[in-house]
Amino acid sequence: MSEENQEQTAGAAPSRRKVIGWGGAGLALGAAAAGGAVALAGDGEGTAPVADTGAAVPFHGPHQAGIATAVQDRLHFAAFDVKTKDRAELVQLLKDWTRAAERMTAGAEVGEGAYGGLPEAPPDDTGEALGLKPSRLTLTIGFGPTLFDGRFGLKDKRPGALVELPKFPGDNLDPARSGGDLCVQACADDPQVAVHAIRNLARIGFGKVAVRWSQLGFGKTSSTTPDAQTPRNLFGFKDGTRNIAGTETERLAKHVWVSGKDAAGAAAWMDGGSYLVARRIRMNVETWDRTPLGEQEDIFGRDKREGAPVGKAKEHDEPFLKAMKPDSHVRLAHPDTNGGATILRRGYSFTDGTDGLGRLDAGLFFLAYQKDVRTGFIPVQTSLGRADALNEYIQHVGSALFAVPPGVRDKDDWWGRALFS
Amino acid sequence: MSEENQEQTAGAAPSRRKVIGWGGAGLALGAAAAGGAVALAGDGEGTAPVADTGAAVPFHGPHQAGIATAVQDRLHFAAFDVKTKDRAELVQLLKDWTRAAERMTAGAEVGEGAYGGLPEAPPDDTGEALGLKPSRLTLTIGFGPTLFDGRFGLKDKRPGALVELPKFPGDNLDPARSGGDLCVQACADDPQVAVHAIRNLARIGFGKVAVRWSQLGFGKTSSTTPDAQTPRNLFGFKDGTRNIAGTETERLAKHVWVSGKDAAGAAAWMDGGSYLVARRIRMNVETWDRTPLGEQEDIFGRDKREGAPVGKAKEHDEPFLKAMKPDSHVRLAHPDTNGGATILRRGYSFTDGTDGLGRLDAGLFFLAYQKDVRTGFIPVQTSLGRADALNEYIQHVGSALFAVPPGVRDKDDWWGRALFS
């Protein structure tokens, strides 16, 4: 084999190796930007669809990236329990995580030393993303209700919107796949880049936090890009067609970003943030696959081929709800059925092997962002849990809610500064 | 949103939708070929590296695709137990699977009816790959030792090379992740395409076979493309650098394809086939990540940054084994240490959530092809299991061996015809 071609050259974006400059010089953050390979999808304000899947998404901004950002192809999501009881140690970890996230989203390794470090010390980075492109990696942190239980003096800062989710009809939640003091959502177009990021954050947090549960998602099920076709879920349908696009500044302000009265009092630190609901939804694909096509289409309220609502021709045609069966999924999930409730969906399909009964352990890892779950996910899921015809084929087996703080403004800012200051 | 842009247009390859022609006309197999988007990697003979990750890989040929084919990015692997006791029913299933595999690898849906079918019947295809490109999907079938246990009158056709693997030092095998009467390896550059294929084969086999275990792989760890950099495993190292390339006809003939005396007697039906070893190798990444860089490099016998063997400058430089520690991984796995044993590696990294102890359930799903495991995997793993310094950080937790029959020659041929005829 040739010894010349040592560099992967699959595209225009700079490789991590190029970004950090292997000569040993420290990283100049923004190097990727100078290379012209930054995707315009960082701050969720008037951003354009992203074509270059190898590019870097800016980390700094008024909102965290990974919400309005055009949905990446792959997901690694992790919920953490905080093990330390020392508030200062937790704060230092959040600062360390922020610096690592800045570097990794720019396509660089964690830490200046990396492989130029001492052979006597463990490497600053685990190395498996070396040579890979930034791949539009975004890292989005959230704080769970249990973080506010008094251990860290945060009781007075628990927002009213950070409720305990009610038990919905049909819920069959596994505590081992639910909750968490912290979460990090890693999205990227290359799964190795997403896995690398979560693993390095877990490594940095060793002894202070422990992974409570995690979930890989192999395929996006939603679009936050205008005019794009909605990807299909594992039932073969397009769902969530009317999702909020990353460019719809007004809908984002109305339904997703916390501001004004929602960012007052205990929730003042949430100005510019959002609330994230994560649900692991097991789909009984084997049963579904034996269901007649007509029944499948009635259950969703769409045709399967095109994704058009009942009686309409195209996916994005306005649905006529009264033409649908009263228990159809689209009708029950529609804002008009739920007092206008609108959420930004960012879910991923998963397949985690088999369930011991010869069936695939597959489904939807549902992720939804909203400014207040009490007027977002809760009314929608109350409608669905009560009557959705789809309930015969699905089961919610994991659940978590997180307050997602605003973006990191600059290199002096850090994840959770307003909460802990 | 616009209603005009209903078609995903990410690249030059035709979408599945285009391939099958939505007007309702039946599929002309080879339509993808006519479109000029077929990757030259079908039969493992003198094939070139593939640039277009959306293209179709030819299904027919003297060898099955998915072995010498340039390694795709993603994997879904499934092992099946055969539930039927009726040989004719099993044969019919293999014929049905072959026809479905022909269609899916060409980028088409299973069955002519698909969505033009009757609303009273379940769809012929589950639908989640509609609109996706062929994505270099390959489907590779294998037959496990238990298929020859007498249920189907195949005792006399069990090849001598289809042994029971010995228990290697350090093995900690989970029976629920081991063995299987049949296997199908689905590789594709889009994971949704690989998952769709396995799921539809399982659906077609409902009542006759059941999924015993399955494994998703998110990142390839090997290269079968000349001159390419070897992808990194989850320890951050390049491993298997001297892998057999899909273009190395002589090495393939010598080490991978069954022929001549190996395809005589009971094994006559294996002419043009190969043997596949699958091992689920759990990697204790948290422990590894706390190991000093110098120790990591000693364990592998390579430097981490470049992947060069000890004392050398470049990944593909010839290793000088005596410069390495006696228990280093590269030295112990090298053909010179194992009587020339050489295998074609096609493994993938996996991350399957957490293990209940706050650690990632991550590792390597090792796949290796060879003409005879008795002169391939067995001597290599005997060396490694006994002494590899890496054993402190890994554990083999699943294992299976399959006889992989030759390729399907044409539209009248089917998977296993020579075995069952």
pLDDT digits (tens, 9 = 90+) for B354-377: 888 888 999 999 999 999 999 999
Q: Is the pLDDT of residue A48 over 80?
A: no
Q: Is A107 within the bounds of a domain?
A: no
B242 close to B129: Cβ distance less than 8 angstroms: no
Asked whether residue A119 is domain-assigned, the answer is no
Average pLDDT in the A89-94 region?
Answer: 98
| Closest of B189, B184, B236 to residue B70, by C-alpha | B189
Confidence of residue A357 (pLDDT cuts 50, 70, 90): confident
Nearest C-alpha neighbor of A239 from the set A153, A307, A173: A307
Distance CA(A123)–CA(A127), nearest Å, equals: 8
Do the beta carbons of residue B252 and residue B64 sit within 8 Å? no
AA identity, residue A217: G
pLDDT, position A281: 98
Q: What is the pLDDT of residues B303-329, one digit of tens each?
A: 998 999 999 999 989 999 999 999 999
Reported ipTM: 0.88
Q: Is residue B67 part of a domain?
A: no
Mean pLDDT across A243-267: 96
CB atoms inside a 10 Å sphere around CB B10: 11
Domain membership of residue A60 (yes or no) is no
CB contact, 8 Å: A203 with chain B?
A: yes
User: Chain A contact for B349, CB < 8 A?
Assistant: yes
B232, A128: Cβ pair inside 8 Å?
yes
Residue B127 lies in a domain: no
CA distance A110 to chain B (A): 13
In a domain, B232, yes or no: yes
pLDDT for the residue numbered B77: 98
Does B122 sit within 8 Å of A290, measured CB to CB? yes
Within 8 A of A176 by CB-CB distance, chain B residues are 356
Q: Given CB atoms, is B203 within the 8 Å cutoff of chain A?
A: yes
pLDDT in the model for residue A118: 82
Share of chain A above pLDDT 70, in %: 86
* Secondary structure class of B224 (helix, strand, coil): coil
Looking at residue A206, what DSSP letter applies? B
Min Cα–Cα distance to chain B from A411, Å: 27
Question: Which residue range(s) make up the domain with B213?
Answer: 75-101+137-421
Q: What is the pLDDT of residue A18?
A: 37
Q: Which of B49, B60, B62 is nearest to B257 (CA)?
A: B62
* pLDDT the model gives residue B115: 55
Is the pLDDT score of A26 beyond 50? no
What residues have CB less than 8 Å from A91, skipping those under 6 apart? A416, A420
CB B71 within 8 A of CB B224: yes
DSSP B42: S
The H-assigned helical ranges of B115-246 are: 191-204
- Asked if the Cβ–Cβ distance from A354 to B290 is below 8 Å, we say no
Structural contact between residues A61 and A272, judged by C-beta atoms closer than 8 angstroms: no
Using the predicted structure, report yes or no on whether residue A3 has a pLDDT greater than 70. no
pLDDT below 70 — which residues of chain B?
A: 1-52, 113-117
Q: Measured between alpha carbons, how far is B236 from B238 in angstroms, rounded to an integer?
A: 7
Q: Please give the structure tokens belonging to residue A88.
A: 């200062």
- Preferred mutation among A4, A9, A218, A298 to probe B, highest tally of B CBs within 10 A: A218
What was the pLDDT predicted at A407?
98
How far apart are the CA of A39 and the nearest CA of chain B, in angstroms? 17
Question: What is the bridge-based pairing of β-strands A348-354 and A360-370?
Answer: antiparallel
User: In this complex, is the C-beta atom of B214 within 8 Å of any C-beta atom belonging to chain A?
Assistant: yes
Under a CB-based contact definition with an 8 Å cutoff, are residues A362 and A352 in contact?
yes
Q: What is the pLDDT of residue A36?
A: 35
Rg, chain A, Cα only? 22
Would you give the end-to-end CA distance of chain B in angstroms? 57
Task: Tell me if A229 and B118 make a contact (CB, 8 A cut-off).
Answer: no
CA distances from B208 to A176, B83, B84, B204 (A): 34, 5, 5, 9
- Percentage of residues of chain A with pLDDT beyond 90: 78
Residue A298 near chain B (CB below 8 Å):
no
CA distance B271 to B76: 26
Tell if the CB–CB gap between B314 and A6 is shorter than 8 Å. Answer: yes
Compute the distance between CA of residue B100 and CA of residue A49 in angstroms, rounded to an integer.
36
CB contact under 8 A, B353 and A286: no
- Domains identified in chain B, total number: 1
Q: How far apart are CA B418 and CA B415, in angstroms?
A: 8
Query: Using 50, 70 and 90 to split pLDDT, how confident is the model at A111?
Result: confident
Give A167: exposed, middle or buried? Use CB within 10 Å, 0-12, 13-18, 19+: exposed
Are B251 and A144 in contact by the 8 Å Cβ rule? The answer is no
Chain A's closest residue to B313, CA to CA, is A3
Nearest CA among A61, A77, A162 for reference residue A377 = A162
Per CB-CB distance under 8 Å, the chain A contacts of B121 are: 292-293
Rg over alpha carbons for chain B, rounded to the nearest Å, is: 22
Which of B16, B133, B192 to probe by mutation at the A interface, max A CB count within 10 Å?
B192
User: Which residue in B218, B176, B180 sits closest to B202, CA to CA?
Assistant: B180
> Do B100 and B203 contact (CB within 8 A), yes or no?
no
How confident is the model over A140-151, as a mean pLDDT?
97
CA distance B248 to B229: 17
Crossing angle for the helix pair A87-105 and A191-204, to the nearest 10 degrees: 150
Which positions 56-115 of B are in contact with A (Cβ < 8 Å)?
74, 76, 81, 115
| Residue A285, pLDDT above cutoff 90 | yes
Give the helix/strand (H/E) hosting A394.
Answer: strand A394-404
Averaged pLDDT, A200-222? 96
Separation between Cα atoms, residue A135 and residue B218, nearest integer Å: 15
CB contact under 8 A, A211 and B359: yes
What's the predicted TM-score (pTM) here?
Answer: 0.90
User: Is residue A7 a part of any domain in this protein?
Assistant: no
pLDDT of res. B117: 66
Could you give the angle at which helices B191-204 and B87-105 cross, rounded to 10 degrees? 150
Q: How many CB atoms lie within 10 A of CB B28?
A: 14
pLDDT band, very low/low/confident/very high, at A113 (cuts 50, 70, 90): low
CB–CB of B135/B190 below 8 Å?
Answer: yes
For residue A51, being part of any structural domain is answered with no
CA gap B56, B34 in Å, rounded: 11
A294 contacts on B by Cβ (under 8 Å): 119-120
Residue whose token pair is 């092997």: A353
